[in-house]
C-alpha cells in the first residue's frame, strides 16, 4: 500500500516512532489532562494503525536503513524483514485498541502527572518498535534498555504504594540481569571482530560449543523478559501493579519482544541449530506453562491471575519454538514451519486475548475500585457490555472453538501429532508426553477462565458497593471492541492469517504451510493435507449459531414461551445470601488440593471454640525459595562482609586506596 506511494515501510515506521515521541513530549509540555486524553491518545492510536499497515506491507521483503545518529562512527542500523514486520504488525494492531482504551481510562482515573505518563507511554511504544527494527547489537541494547526503563516508570505509576515500588524494583532488577545475559550473547556472537552489526553475526560461523553458549545466554536473557521459569518472579508482581492499559501492553506486547529476541538469535543470527536446544526449550516451556496455569487457578487477585496466565501462554509459545528447533535440526522443514506458525499465531492471539482481558480488568477496577475477586460478583447485570466483551476474551483464552486461542493450540497439537519418525529415540517418547502436558495445560486454562469470569461477572454481588457501579465508558468500549474484533477475526479466518505468517516461516525455516494451508479454499484450514487434518471455524460457528437459532424458533413455535421469576432453590435453608456463594479461594480449592505438593500453602485454621472463626490460606511460590532466596541471602552475606571494610577512619580508607594503587601498578608491570 505504501510501496505504491513510493514510501518504503521502514521510513513509515520510523515516522510513526518519531510521531509518538513528539506526541509524548507534547503531552508533557501541555500538562492538560483533557487534551492528553481526548486528542493525544486517539491520535497515537492512528499512529498504531499506520504502523500496522506499514508492517503488513513489509512482511514480504527486506529493507534496511542506517541512521547517522548515535555515537561517532557507530551509526544505528535498522532493518525490516518478515520476522520483525510480523512483530511490528502485532505491536501496531494490538496497540490500537489499548491506546484507545487508555484515552478513556486515564481520562476517568485520577492519575497524578498525566503528562509524564503520556510521555512514558509513548516512549514505551516507540522503544518496542525500535527493538524490532534494530539491526545491530548497539541499537538493540539501547532500545531494549529504553523499553525496560520506560516500562519501569509505567509500572510504578502508583509509586506512593510500597508494594508497587517493590514490584517495580524486582522488575528492574531481573530485567537488567537479563539484559546483561543478552549483551554477553551478542559479545559471543560477534566473535572477536568488534563489529556488532547483525549482518556480521549472520555471516559469521560459530562452533557448536559457542553456538550453544550463545543460545542459552539468549534463552536466559530473553527468558527473564518473557517470564520463563525460573525468571518469572517479577511478572506476577509487576503486571498487577501497573495501570491496566500498561498491563495490557506489558503482557500483550512486551513479552513478545522476548519471543522475538529468541527467534532472532536462534534462527537468524546463529547459523546452526542443535536438536537438544529444542528439547531444553520444550521442557522449559512445558514447565512454565503448567506452573503458570496451576498458579493462576489459585489466585484471588484478578490481575495476578491474568499475569500467571501470561506465564502459561509464554510457556506454550516456547513449547512451539522448542519443537521448531527440534524439527529444523532434524531436517523436517515442513513440520518446523507448522510448529513455528503455531507459535507465532499464539503470540499474536495472546496479544489480543490478554490485552482485552487486562483492559477489562481496568474497567472493573475503575467501576468498583476492587481487584480482589472475593469482593466482586454479579457484574453482568450492571456492566452488560463489558460482560459480553470479557466473555469473548475469556472463551478465547480458554482455547475454545471457534475463537482464536483454539486455532493456535490446534496447529500446535497438529505439529505434535505429525511428529513420529524423529530419529532420536528419547525424543520420540518425549513427544507424546509433551503433547499430554500441553493438553493438560489447555484444559486447566479452561478451569482458570471459568473461575475468572464466573466469580467476577456471575452470581450475586459479594459487596454492597457493587450495586451502584456503571458500565465502561465509550472510549474504553471502543478500545475493547478493537481487541474483540481481533480475537474473532483471528479465530474465524485462520487461512488469511497463515498466508501472512508464511513469510516468516519461509524466512526462518525455509518452508511454509502456504500452498497446502489454502489448498482446499480459504474456508478450510488444512496445514498438511486435507485427509490428514482440517478445521473450519467459520462453518463450526455457523452450525452452532444456526443450531441455537433453530432450536429457539422450534421451541417458540411448538411450545409456549411462558416465564415466571421466582426465588432460587435454597435447599430448605431460607437465609442464603451472597456470602454463601463459592469464593475465588473455594473455586480454586480442588486445584490447590491436588497440586499442594507443588506449591507452598500456608494455612491458618480457626480453633473450634473461636467465636469469630477466620480461615485463611495463602499460596506461595516455592521456586522463590529455591532460586531467589539463596541469591538474596548470599548477597546479604557478602554485603555484610564488605560492610566490615567500612570503618569511618580516614587513614584506613587511604590505606585501601594505597593498596589498590600498588596492586594496579604491579599488574601493569
Partner 1 sequence: MSASAIFLQLLQNVLVLLAAPLLLGWINQCRAWLQNRNGAGMLQPYRNLLKLFHKDAVLAHNASQLFRTTPYILFACMWLAAALVPVLATDLPLSPAVDVIALVGIFALARVFISLAAMDIGTAFGSLGARREMLVGFLAEPALLMVLFTASTISQSTSLITIVETLAHKQFVLYPSMTFAAVAFVMVLLAENARVPVDNPSTHLELTMIHEAMVLEYSARHLALVEWASALKLLAYMAIGIALFIPYGIAEAGNWNALPAAIALLTFKLLLAGAGLAFIETISAKMRIFRVPEFMGTAFLLAVLGLLTHFLLET
Partner 2 sequence: MGIPITGQIINMCAALLLLIAFAMLSQRRILSLINLFSLQGLILAISTSVVAYSSQQQHLYYSAALTLLLKAIVLPMILHRLIRKLNIKWDVETMFNIPTIMLVGLALVVFAFNLAAPISQMAATITRSTLGIAMASVLLSFLMMITRSKAVPQVVGFLAMENGLFFAATSATYGMPMVVELGIALDVLVGMFILGIFFFQIRTAFDSLDLKHMEKLKEE
State the Cα–Cα distance between residues 93 and 128, nearest whole angstrom.
14
Closer CB to partner 1, residue 201 or residue 411? 411
**Least Å from the CB of residue 556 to partner 1:** 10
Closer CB to partner 1, residue 68 or residue 567? 567
Q: Applying CB under 8 A, does 458 fall inside the site for partner 1?
A: yes
State the Cα–Cα distance between residues 270 and 666, nearest whole angstrom.
41
Binding to partner 1 (CB under 8 A) within 392-451 occurs at 395, 398-401, 406, 410, 413-414, 417-418, 420-421, 428-429, 431-433, 435-436, 439-440, 442-444, 446-447, 449-451
**Least Å from the CB of residue 214 to partner 2:** 31
Q: Applying CB under 8 A, does 571 fall inside the site for partner 1?
A: yes
Residue 331 Rama label (left phi>0; alpha psi -120 to 50; beta) = left
Distances (CA, A) of 182 to 77, 261, 272: 18, 9, 18
State the Cα–Cα distance between residues 203 and 206, nearest whole angstrom.
10
**Least Å from the CB of residue 320 to partner 1:** 16
**Least Å from the CB of residue 425 to partner 2:** 6
Closer CB to partner 1, residue 262 or residue 435? 435
Closer CB to partner 1, residue 340 or residue 524? 524
Closer CB to partner 2, residue 429 or residue 548? 429
Q: Applying CB under 8 A, does 640 fall inside the site for partner 1?
A: no
H or E element that contains 68: strand 63-71
417 binds, among partner 1, partner 2, none (CB under 5 to 8 A by kind): partner 1
DSSP, collapsed to helix, strand or coil, labels residue 603 as strand
Binding track over 400-429 against partner 2, x by CB under 8 A: -------------------------xx--x
426 binds, among partner 1, partner 2, none (CB under 5 to 8 A by kind): partner 2
Closer CB to partner 2, residue 12 or residue 286? 286
E strands within 217-375?
A: none
Torsion, CA 457, CA 460, CA 462, CA 463, rounded to 10: 100
**Least Å from the CB of residue 297 to partner 1:** 9
Angle between helix 474-492 and helix 333-368 axes, rounded to 10 deg:
160
408-419 burial, b if ≥16 CB within 10 A, otherwise e? bbbbbbbbbebb
Binding to partner 1 (CB under 8 A) within 520-549 occurs at 520, 524, 530-536, 539-540, 543-545, 547-548
- Which of 587, 615, 622 minimizes the C-alpha distance to 601? 622
Binding track over 432-461 against partner 2, x by CB under 8 A: -x----------------------------
For residue 75, what are the β-bridge partners? 70
Torsion, CA 541, CA 544, CA 545, CA 549, rounded to 10: 170
**Least Å from the CB of residue 27 to partner 1:** 40
- Which of 252, 249, 344 minimizes the C-alpha distance to 44? 249
**Least Å from the CB of residue 589 to partner 2:** 18
**Least Å from the CB of residue 429 to partner 2:** 5
Stretch that binds partner 1, among 16-24, 280-288, 349-357, 570-578 (CB under 8 A): 570-578
Whose cell is 472463551? That residue is 395
552 binds, among partner 2, partner 1, none (CB under 5 to 8 A by kind): partner 1
547 binds, among partner 1, partner 2, none (CB under 5 to 8 A by kind): partner 1
Tell me if 152 sits within 8 A of 172, measured CB to CB.
yes
**Least Å from the CB of residue 228 to partner 2:** 24
176-205 burial, b if ≥16 CB within 10 A, otherwise e? eebbebbbbbbebbbbeeeebbbebbeebe
Closer CB to partner 2, residue 423 or residue 546? 423
Angle between helix 384-397 and helix 474-492 axes, rounded to 10 deg:
30
What's the burial of 95, exposed, middle or buried (CB within 10 Å: 0-12/13-18/19+)?
buried
**Least Å from the CB of residue 432 to partner 2:** 10
Closer CB to partner 2, residue 594 or residue 654? 594
- Whether omega for the bond prior to residue 230 falls within 30 degrees of 0, making it cis, is yes
Closer CB to partner 2, residue 590 or residue 613? 590
Q: Which three cell numbers stand for residue 654?
A: 587511604
Q: Applying CB under 8 A, does 380 fall inside the site for partner 1?
A: yes
Q: Applying CB under 8 A, does 568 fall inside the site for partner 1?
A: yes
Q: CB within 8 A of 23, min separation 6: which ones? A: 40, 43, 44, 47, 118, 122
Q: Applying CB under 8 A, does 453 fall inside the site for partner 1?
A: yes
Q: Applying CB under 8 A, does 474 fall inside the site for partner 2?
A: no
With contacts defined by CB under 8 A, how many residues of the chain interact with partner 2? 4
Closer CB to partner 1, residue 116 or residue 391? 391
- Which of 487, 301, 299, 287 minimizes the C-alpha distance to 407? 487
Closer CB to partner 1, residue 115 or residue 377? 377
**Least Å from the CB of residue 134 to partner 1:** 38
Q: Applying CB under 8 A, does 653 fall inside the site for partner 2?
A: no
**Least Å from the CB of residue 245 to partner 2:** 42
Closer CB to partner 1, residue 426 or residue 653? 426
- Which of 274, 282, 338, 267 minimizes the C-alpha distance to 315? 282
Residues that bind partner 2 (CB under 8 A): 425-426, 429, 433
Amino acid at each position: 500500500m505504501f510501496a505504491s506511494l513510493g514510501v518504503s515501510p521502514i521510513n513509515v515506521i520510523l515516522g510513526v516512532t518519531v510521531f509518538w515521541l513528539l506526541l509524548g513530549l507534547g503531552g508533557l509540555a501541555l500538562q492538560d489532562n483533557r487534551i492528553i486524553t481526548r486528542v493525544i491518545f486517539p491520535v497515537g492510536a492512528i499512529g498504531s494503525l499506520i504502523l500496522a499497515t506499514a508492517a503488513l506491507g513489509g512482511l514480504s521483503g527486506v529493507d534496511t536503513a542506517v541512521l547517522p545518529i548515535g555515537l561517532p562512527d557507530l551509526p544505528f542500523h535498522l532493518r525490516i524483514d518478515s520476522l520483525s514486520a510480523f512483530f511490528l504488525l502485532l505491536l501496531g494492531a494490538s496497540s490500537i485498541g489499548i491506546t484507545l482504551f487508555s484515552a478513556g481510562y486515564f481520562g476517568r482515573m485520577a492519575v497524578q502527572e498525566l503528562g509524564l505518563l503520556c510521555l512514558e507511554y509513548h516512549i514505551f511504544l516507540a522503544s518496542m518498535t525500535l527493538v524490532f527494527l534494530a539491526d545491530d547489537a548497539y541499537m538493540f541494547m539501547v532500545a531494549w534498555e529504553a523499553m525496560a526503563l520506560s516500562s519501569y516508570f509505567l509500572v510504578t505509576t502508583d509509586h506512593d504504594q510500597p508494594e508497587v515500588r517493590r514490584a517495580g524494583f524486582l522488575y528492574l532488577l531481573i530485567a537488567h540481569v537479563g539484559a546483561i545475559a543478552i549483551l554477553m550473547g551478542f559479545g559471543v556472537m560477534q566473535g572477536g571482530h568488534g563489529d556488532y552489526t547483525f549482518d556480521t553475526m549472520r555471516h559469521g560461523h560459530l562452533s557448536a560449543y559457542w553456538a550453544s553458549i550463545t543460545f542459552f545466554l539468549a534463552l536466559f536473557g530473553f527468558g527473564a523478559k518473557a517470564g520463563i521459569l525460573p525468571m518469572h518472579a517479577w511478572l506476577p508482581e509487576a503486571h498487577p501493579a501497573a495501570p491496566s492499559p500498561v498491563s495490557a501492553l506489558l503482557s500483550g506486547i512486551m513479552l513478545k519482544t522476548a519471543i522475538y529476541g529468541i527467534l532472532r538469535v536462534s534462527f537468524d543470527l546463529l547459523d546452526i541449530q542443535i536438536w537438544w536446544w529444542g528439547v531444553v526449550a520444550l521442557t522449559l516451556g512445558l514447565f512454565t506453562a503448567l506452573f503458570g496455569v496451576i498458579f493462576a487457578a489459585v489466585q484471588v487477585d484478578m490481575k495476578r491471575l491474568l499475569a500467571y496466565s501470561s506465564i502459561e501462554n509464554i510457556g506454550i509459545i516456547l513449547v512451539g519454538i522448542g519443537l521448531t528447533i527440534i524439527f529444523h535440526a532434524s531436517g523436517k522443514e515442513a513440520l518446523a514451519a507448522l510448529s513455528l506458525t503455531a507459535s507465532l499465531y499464539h503470540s499474536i492471539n495472546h496479544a489480543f486475548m490478554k490485552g482485552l482481558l487486562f483492559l477489562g480488568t481496568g474497567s472493573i477496577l475503575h467501576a468498583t475500585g476492587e481487584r480482589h475477586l472475593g469482593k466482586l460478583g454479579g457484574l453482568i447485570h450492571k456492566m452488560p457490555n463489558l460482560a459480553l466483551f470479557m466473555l469473548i476474551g475469556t472463551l478465547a483464552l480458554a482455547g475454545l472453538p471457534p475463537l482464536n486461542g483454539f486455532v493456535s493450540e490446534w496447529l500446535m497439537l497438529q505439529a505434535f501429532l505429525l511428529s513420529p519418525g524423529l530419529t532420536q529415540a528419547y525424543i520420540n517418547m518425549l513427544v507424546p508426553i509433551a503433547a499430554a502436558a500441553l493438553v493438560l495445560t489447555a484444559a486447566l486454562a479452561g478451569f482458570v477462565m471459568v473461575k475468572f469470569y464466573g466469580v467476577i461477572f456471575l452470581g450475586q454481588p459479594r459487596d454492597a458497593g457493587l450495586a451502584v457501579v456503571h458500565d465502561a465508558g465509550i472510549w474504553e468500549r471502543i478500545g475493547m471492541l478493537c481487541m474483540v474484533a481481533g480475537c474473532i477475526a483471528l479465530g474465524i479466518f485462520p487461512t488469511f492469517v497463515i498466508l501472512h505468517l508464511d513469510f516468516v516461516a519461509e524466512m526462518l525455516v525455509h518452508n511454509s504451510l502456504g500452498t497446502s494451508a489454502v489448498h482446499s479454499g480459504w474456508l478450510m484450514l488444512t496445514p498438511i493435507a486435507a485427509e490428514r487434518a482440517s478445521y473450519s471455524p467459520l462453518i463450526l460457528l455457523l452450525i452452532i449459531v444456526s443450531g441455537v437459532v433453530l432450536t429457539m424458533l422450534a421451541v417458540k413455535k411448538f411450545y409456549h414461551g411462558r416465564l415466571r421469576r421466582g426465588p432460587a432453590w435454597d435447599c430448605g435453608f431460607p437465609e442464603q445470601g451472597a456470602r454463601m456463594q463459592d469464593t475465588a479461594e473455594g473455586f480454586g480449592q480442588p486445584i490447590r488440593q491436588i497440586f499442594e505438593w507443588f506449591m507452598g500453602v500456608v494455612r491458618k485454621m480457626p480453633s473450634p471454640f473461636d467465636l469469630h472463626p477466620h480461615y485463611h490460606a495463602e499460596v506461595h511460590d516455592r521456586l522463590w525459595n529455591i532460586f531467589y532466596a539463596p541469591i538474596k541471602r548470599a548477597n546479604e552475606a557478602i554485603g555484610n562482609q564488605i560492610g566490615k571494610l567500612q570503618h569511618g577512619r580516614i587513614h584506613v580508607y587511604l590505606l585501601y586506596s594505597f593498596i589498590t594503587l600498588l596492586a594496579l601498578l604491579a599488574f601493569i608491570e
